[in-house]
Structure 1
Amino acid sequence: MTRSISRMTGGDAGFLYMETPSMHMHTLKIAVLEPSTDNTFDRLIEMMTERLRLLPPMRRRVVPVPFALHHPVLVTQREIDPRRHFFRHHIGGAGTMRDLERLIGEICSTPLDRSVPLWELHLCEGLADGKVAIVGKIHHAMADGLAANAMLANVMDVSSTDMRTSVRTEAHEGVDDPSSSLLVRHALRDAASQLREFPTLIASTVRRLAEVARYRREMDAKVPLPVKDAPRTSFNGPLTPKRSFATATVPLADLKRVRSTHADIEGLTLNDVVLAVASGALRRWLALHDEHPRTSLTAGVPVGLDATDTEPRLIGNNVSNLFTTLATDVEDPAERLQAISTTTRHAKAISQRLGAALMEWSQFAPPAPFAAAVRAYSRLRGARFHASAFNAIVSNVPGPRERVKVAGAQLADVFSVGPLTEGIGLNITVWSYVDRMNFSLLACPDLLPDVEVLASFIPAAVAELLGEPEPGAAADSVDERVDERVDEQDDAGDQETA
């Protein structure tokens, strides 16, 4: 193989094997730009084409190995066809943020085309204030949150941010697809070489599991286990292809005030506060829908495994998950935050002891059986028959701390969200930008039909943690969004009747 052709790791390829007609494994990055003469479709294509050298995943196409003898390879394409990657939408000239959110849900509801590099850019025009939005859609097999963060830095005009510094990469020449015989030969060679690592992996995994078991016996809190400790809710079940999207923005200073207000909680972090905000919003949503789980909801929290002093990645995945409580069964907000912080601290310690074990074992996952099993599970709607691994995905990624530009246009806001997985119909991803925290909520509307209502509870959840009255604007927003949801359902019923 050459630098222009590389084998996918098992961890990266696993996101391809996990994809089904109802489980799309792409992530979204949404940049809202201030009005500018540069905000044109042609300029977007020109700007991104110029910077493809700095974005390796955007030139690489997945090529499967014959007979699925090994994980696929990535081949650098000679050229990118803009018609396959750039799309234009018009909201109507008076579009609101809610109109944009609906459009983003539609964009997210279709899988990426695997015959080309796994990304799309959608220019969304027609917002009432003259702003435009660029919706980036990239497959999780190509980049996790940290890699996507580094790629974002490479398309921004930015001098100093808390984002990992941009990466200057060598331009790899595009090549033709390797022949089937070459793919087979290299697959067999790589598989044989990989087998030599198997005994070491077994020994390492046994050691790590022993450390986790020892830590669990000694810790002074209970960390939830996947499946066993996740209660059933209406948004945990088999996915359908549809997706819905909503956002909420709160001042970063308010979340920092929450941390200061509860400074007596040992080791309290901003991530703990984000989890507590998600918990408060979910408690309100559950009460609205008359759902009363007997135990607390649980969350899966993606955790990057990259060392902080290493050069930023622009491709691939190096991530694990920790499992923690959302303490939704705790009435008092301070006690709830305490429970989340304590549990998450222990969950991090367990995750650190496990390290990259799951990613390392995924290297040995047989491609054909793995993908076939996932498709069969999805087709049979297997998530009906057991509790989900956890109830919701919640993550927090630091973004730029200063205002930045994209191709000369001022970035007004940035949002990001990852995919849903079978049985888990809600993903809450938080990206900071300058002085605010942007919450992005992705849901399967057949499981959670009113994600915009859940999003509207977020300001009230922050106020609760501060011991302040629920914001009047937030309460009005809830009423408006509930009324709006009723109107949408009435309209849909009228259309069906017609």
Structure 2
Amino acid sequence: MERLSGLDASFLYLESSAQLMHVCGIILLDPSTIPGGYSFADMKAVLEARVATIPNFRRKLKEVPLEIDHPLWVDDEDFDIDRHVHRLGVPAPGGEEELREVCGHLAGIPLDRSRPLWEMWVIEGLKSGQIAVFTKMHHASVDGVSGANLISYLCSLEPNAPLLDLAPKGETPPPPPGDWELFGRGLVNNLAKPVKFFRLLPATTSLVTKTVGRARSGTAMAAPLTAPRTSFNGNIGGRRTVGYADISLDTIKEIRHHVEGATVNDVVLAISGGALRRYLADRGELPESSLLASVPVSVHQTSTKARGTNKVSSLFAKLGTDIEDPVERLHQLAEDNAHAKDHHNAISADTLQDWAEFAAPRTFGLAVRAVAKLRLAEKGPVIHNLVISNVPGPPVPLYFVGARIEGFYPLGPIFHGAGLNVTVMSNNGRMHVGLLGDRDAMPDIQDLADDFPKELEALRAAVLG
């Protein structure tokens, strides 16, 4: 039993029928490595045995009366694996296009909040002979790092080896508190909020002053609300579309070593900027100014908060879509991102989590409905164009319930005003790029995915010759 942090709960409050706040992933598996061969029944049985030992897979929400405080995680006493692990076949001919169509449809279906907030769909019938597993976890229960860790609990280093013993030991959870007790706790927490608010003000005021100083000296991160408008920067609907691609991590590292001051993340952002430039130029939509990305930053290592799953901050980065030369774009990004990191590091790792404690479900819900109904995302300035995340993955091959992982494409959520999410994850020498977008705004999202390997090759040729 655990109270959600304000940041975790905010992903519940921000959710609507169009703005879905779950994190998805497409895992491509080679079933030939499974000892004894693949069967759905066996895979589900192994998953059932494993999730029984991992509390995060078995917890569900319990609301506080009158919603005066954030919900709690409690154990689902009626947990049933059949409500979470499903099986379906991809339509003929079973190619990548059909798989993406199925996964886009699944990404647009909200999770049932009366049960633990995760699902897995085992997808068969691919002409490649692979098995795909489509995963879905609510952002209230995972962020990029913790989500990857949860999946790793289901993996091993060899096909017939025991699963990684990384999960906390399961214990019999206590019964959840009654409604009156929760209501009383909520009242106490609300009474303490004014004190917490005034404690945060001095540090926040100082932060604003320092940010203004950095902006004047040209050493601040890129500012929100300065992004140009594109076709995917408006209100989003409930339908989703997905795309994915693979690029070489070794090539990215080689490029980084040849460009002074550049990091792997700088190269990833430069490739993203180049791919977006190609995509928009092909459609006659390329803005004169650079696209602006919101880049989540994990603070798991620096946060002082013991409670909460989402431990992230964010910085803003211009992607250099207004720069044609890929090497010049990378140099500019490396310089800008160095300033952005210094600026970000000067901000307390707990700032976002501290302020998120004041999130209120009714206020957030009304705000989301107002933005959608009044179409405010299409009228005001664009806060940022898209979200780009870089999630570190395993440097060695992993086996999911005995099946070798050949691709793991993460798919983050999209928002009103920013209908595109790009998430990359390293895995055994490869970078798997996952794209999720609003289906109405980006029906051809795979075209953008296909531009990533093209842009990597262009950058490699320009840097290495």
> Do Structure 1 and Structure 2 share a fold, with TM-score over 0.5?
yes
Code of the aligned partner of 1:16: L
CA distance in 2, matches of 1:72, 1:35: 40
Change (3 A) 1:39 1:134: farther
> CA offset at residue 257 of structure 1?
2.4
CA distance in 1, matches of 2:264, 2:109: 34
Match of 2:251 among 254, 260, 264: 254
Aligned equivalent of 1:35: 31
Show the 5 A alignment for 1:394-433: 394-433=388-427
Please give the secondary structure, in 1, of the residue aligned with 2:16.
coil
CA distance in 1, matches of 2:52, 2:301: 25
CA distance in 1, matches of 2:232, 2:54: 36
Aligned equivalent of 1:458: 452
> CA offset at residue 47 of structure 1?
1.7
Aligned equivalent of 1:284: 278
Query: Which digits, 9 at most, give the CA deviation of each residue in 1:338-392, with x for residues without a partner?
Result: 1111112211222222233222111012222222222222233221111321111
> CA offset at residue 435 of structure 1?
1.6
> CA offset at residue 82 of structure 1?
2.4
Aligned equivalent of 1:346: 339
Structure 1 spans left out of the alignment, 5+ residues: 160-164, 470-498
Residues 78 and 175 of structure 1 are in contact (CA less than 8 Å); yes or no, is this contact kept in structure 2? no
Q: When the two structures are superposed, what TM-score results if normalisation uses the length of structure 2? A: 0.92
Show the 5 A alignment for 1:293-312: 293-307=287-301
Please give the secondary structure, in 1, of the residue aligned with 2:433.
strand
Query: Which digits, 9 at most, give the CA deviation of each residue in 1:24-79, with x for residues without a partner?
Result: 00001222111245533222322222122453221111122111111111111124
2:323 is the alignment partner of 1:323: no
Structure 2 spans left out of the alignment, 5+ residues: 159-163
Residues 54 and 170 of structure 2 are in contact (CA less than 8 Å); yes or no, is this contact kept in structure 1? no
2:231 is the alignment partner of 1:234: yes
Please give the secondary structure, in 2, of the residue aligned with 1:467.
helix
Please give the secondary structure, in 2, of the residue aligned with 1:354.
coil
Please give the secondary structure, in 2, of the residue aligned with 1:359.
helix
Show the 5 A alignment for 1:54-133: 54-92=53-91, 94-133=93-132
Match of 1:381 among 356, 375, 379: 375
CA distance in 1, matches of 2:42, 2:217: 59
CA distance in 2, matches of 1:286, 1:122: 33
CA distance in 2, matches of 1:40, 1:175: 36
Aligned equivalent of 1:244: 241
Please give the secondary structure, in 2, of the residue aligned with 1:457.
helix
Match of 2:13 among 13, 17, 23: 17
Residues 39 and 132 of structure 1 are in contact (CA less than 8 Å); yes or no, is this contact kept in structure 2? no
CA distance in 2, matches of 1:54, 1:417: 26
> CA offset at residue 193 of structure 1?
4.0
Q: When the two structures are superposed, what TM-score results if normalisation uses the length of structure 1? A: 0.86
Match of 1:362 among 343, 346, 356: 356
Indicate the percent of aligned positions where both proteins have the same amino acid: 34
Change (3 A) 1:310 1:321: closer
Residues 143 and 316 of structure 1 are in contact (CA less than 8 Å); yes or no, is this contact kept in structure 2? yes
CA distance in 2, matches of 1:23, 1:66: 25
CA distance in 2, matches of 1:107, 1:19: 17
Please give the secondary structure, in 2, of the residue aligned with 1:299.
strand
Aligned equivalent of 2:152: 153
Query: Which digits, 9 at most, give the CA deviation of each residue in 1:250-308, with x for residues without a partner?
Result: 121221222233x23xx210101111111111111111111131211111101001117
CA distance in 2, matches of 1:364, 1:38: 51
Query: Which digits, 9 at most, give the CA deviation of each residue in 1:109-153, with x for residues without a partner?
Result: 111111111111100111112210111100000010111122122
Please give the secondary structure, in 2, of the residue aligned with 1:128.
coil
CA distance in 2, matches of 1:314, 1:59: 18
Range 190-199 or range 407-416, more displaced: 190-199
2:30 is the alignment partner of 1:47: no
Aligned equivalent of 2:161: none
Residues 285 and 454 of structure 1 are in contact (CA less than 8 Å); yes or no, is this contact kept in structure 2? yes
Please give the secondary structure, in 2, of the residue aligned with 1:190.
helix
Number of aligned pairs?
454
> CA offset at residue 314 of structure 1?
11
CA distance in 1, matches of 2:137, 2:153: 15
Code of the aligned partner of 1:362: A
CA distance in 2, matches of 1:88, 1:314: 35
CA distance in 2, matches of 1:68, 1:104: 34
Residues 120 and 137 of structure 1 are in contact (CA less than 8 Å); yes or no, is this contact kept in structure 2? yes
CA distance in 2, matches of 1:166, 1:284: 44
Change (3 A) 1:292 1:414: closer
Runs (4 or more) in structure 1 with deviation over 6 Å come to: 308-311
Aligned equivalent of 2:329: 336
Please give the secondary structure, in 2, of the residue aligned with 1:95.
coil
CA distance in 2, matches of 1:190, 1:43: 46
CA distance in 2, matches of 1:172, 1:23: 35
Please give the secondary structure, in 2, of the residue aligned with 1:395.
strand
Change (3 A) 1:315 1:119: farther
Query: Which digits, 9 at most, give the CA deviation of each residue in 1:433-467, with x for residues without a partner?
Result: 11211111111121122101111111111121122
Residues 239 and 425 of structure 1 are in contact (CA less than 8 Å); yes or no, is this contact kept in structure 2? yes
Residues 25 and 140 of structure 1 are in contact (CA less than 8 Å); yes or no, is this contact kept in structure 2? yes
Code of the aligned partner of 2:20: H
Change (3 A) 1:173 1:333: same
CA distance in 2, matches of 1:364, 1:314: 16
Please give the secondary structure, in 2, of the residue aligned with 1:250.
strand
Range 34-43 or range 410-419, more displaced: 34-43
Range 29-38 or range 320-329, more displaced: 29-38
Aligned equivalent of 1:180: 179
Code of the aligned partner of 2:440: D
